[in-house]
Structure 1
């Protein structure tokens, strides 16, 4: 029972990170049709923001705020300089553009900072543990669950209760109609990128706190898993992205914890096989977007 509790905390913690990244991908895709593979580099930029802030003597809390702000600024910068001019292009062109931007950023990180991981020192209390019954629970996974759920809840309220959120949801349905109604599409898209950057920055905080370091490839694998989560949940579906993120996180932790040693090298393959099986059952995803079948 204690092992199940401990692994459940770990699973929800990892799933929360994937859910935030997947939601950032889904928000941008639902509005402009861009699968932004540079999203992982936005997360990495946030991690380097934390590293540099600490290197300049800022307090840990201030450094985390700097990291989140750096991710938001990077997301807005990419939207304005790289993606705005490509808006309206076909999916393949947008995909190639995002890959190119991602590779450029990785090269800049490698040559401008370091190709190797650079350590980030957080207070020792942040890496502590506490006991619940016979289970040993980490402070960071617990905090990451709270932060992830609070972030997702706050974003849900913004999307459903504010004029900006309603404009974003309307843009996801039909951005051309939104323009005809006199709404500034550039502003709506920029806000979507800012929110995706905010989520990537929060994910960077959680990821670096767990790893204790940042490197140019830090965001690649989490965003790859987040992309799989968006497909599993239903490409373009915000709720599906969150659900897919938690499902992928839970599957990863459970397979790592309970697979026999002989099968542990095949953990990722088993997780992906389960995802494929789910997509064979529901080709449009677990919670498909309303416009998933539109031509």
Structure 2
């Protein structure tokens, strides 16, 4: 492989990894607060992609407007999921929450399968996503550069919210000690709803970008993407926002570069991420930036 092709694949890997990272941050934030692996998170990404498609094709909303509306819709779905499915089980065993999350995932998949059928729907991105940019002999699409840039900006905003705002302080305090937060007069359920809303909005951005880069969506698209994003969160250190981003980028780069070097193994590209995850966890069971949950959060 020559250096030009390698650099092109590197850009593609960063683009793919950025989408995993956006979804992984949602996983890690919910886990940091509730110790819940929200397996419906990938399906919220799918729901958002369909919402954006509906806005673009049926309402003639521009792409950025459709993205904004999809984020709002995802936030509503995330908050509703928490209020209807998870809130009544706050004091239930963890396994009950896990089973409920799996149930919500299947419910959303089957609901959208009934509404839109299992046939893949074409998602046409704005023209500027496909514009080619040549830099030093490297030819990449504008979308491949835009996605990592937007991801970086969003992650910075999330970190600023967590560490520089009173809501972020409340989120981190809640993640550390729910009982103390309640005694201080803070509405824990409202803060948890905010975490679900924020994580769902990030999943929406990841879902719309995914649809824009791969041109189609299906009701089951969130399953494998969600699992990879979860693997990214675990790889980076579940509970760490920065770790989730690092894990997403590593998995995206591994998936793209491995196929570029070994094209005959392209049929197994989905396995590379999990093989790499197992390899890393053998030496660092808590992930790259694993957090000691008795001392800190995020």
Distance 2:125 2:268 in 1: 33
Map 1:11-22 onto structure 2 (within 5 A): 11-22=13-24
Offset at 1:32?
A: 1.1
Structure 1 position 227 matched with structure 2 position 230: yes
Equivalent position of 1:209 in the other structure? 212
Equivalent position of 1:282 in the other structure? 284
Structure 1 position 252 matched with structure 2 position 224: no
Structure 1 pair 266–111 and aligned structure 2 pair: CA distance change class (3 A): closer
Map 1:38-57 onto structure 2 (within 5 A): 38-54=40-56, 55-57=58-60
Offset at 1:293?
A: 9.7
| Coordinate RMSD, CA, aligned | 1.7
Classify the secondary structure of the residue corresponding to 2:133. Answer: strand
Distance 1:47 1:268 in 2: 21
Offset at 1:56?
A: 2.0
Q: Is the 8 A contact 1:235 1:292 kept in 2?
A: no
Equivalent position of 1:58 in the other structure? 61
Classify the secondary structure of the residue corresponding to 2:173. Answer: helix
Offset at 1:53?
A: 0.7
Distance 1:244 1:122 in 2: 27
Alpha-carbon displacement from aligned partner over 1:266-293 (angstroms, at most 9, x marks no partner)? 4443442222121110111111122179
Q: Is the 8 A contact 1:28 1:196 kept in 2?
A: yes
Task: Choose the corresponding residue for 1:139, options 142, 163, 167.
Answer: 142
Q: Is the 8 A contact 2:254 2:272 kept in 1?
A: no
Equivalent position of 2:89 in the other structure? 86
- Count of aligned residue pairs for this structure pair: 293
Classify the secondary structure of the residue corresponding to 2:89. Answer: coil
Map 1:22-171 onto structure 2 (within 5 A): 22-54=24-56, 55-171=58-174
Alpha-carbon displacement from aligned partner over 1:226-285 (angstroms, at most 9, x marks no partner)? 111121122223232222111111111111111252x44444434422221211101111
Distance 2:272 2:108 in 1: 32
Q: TM-score, normalised by structure 1?
A: 0.94
Q: Is the 8 A contact 1:126 1:139 kept in 2?
A: yes
Distance 1:212 1:272 in 2: 25
Distance 1:109 1:152 in 2: 29
Classify the secondary structure of the residue corresponding to 1:131. Answer: strand
**Where does structure 1 differ by over 3 angstroms across 4 or more consecutive aligned residues?**
263-271
Moved more, 61-70 or 43-52: 61-70
The answer for unaligned runs of 5 or more in structure 2 is: none
Distance 1:106 1:272 in 2: 23
Q: TM-score, normalised by structure 2?
A: 0.93
Distance 1:65 1:274 in 2: 34
Distance 1:149 1:53 in 2: 26
Q: Is the 8 A contact 1:284 1:292 kept in 2?
A: no
Equivalent position of 2:187 in the other structure? 184
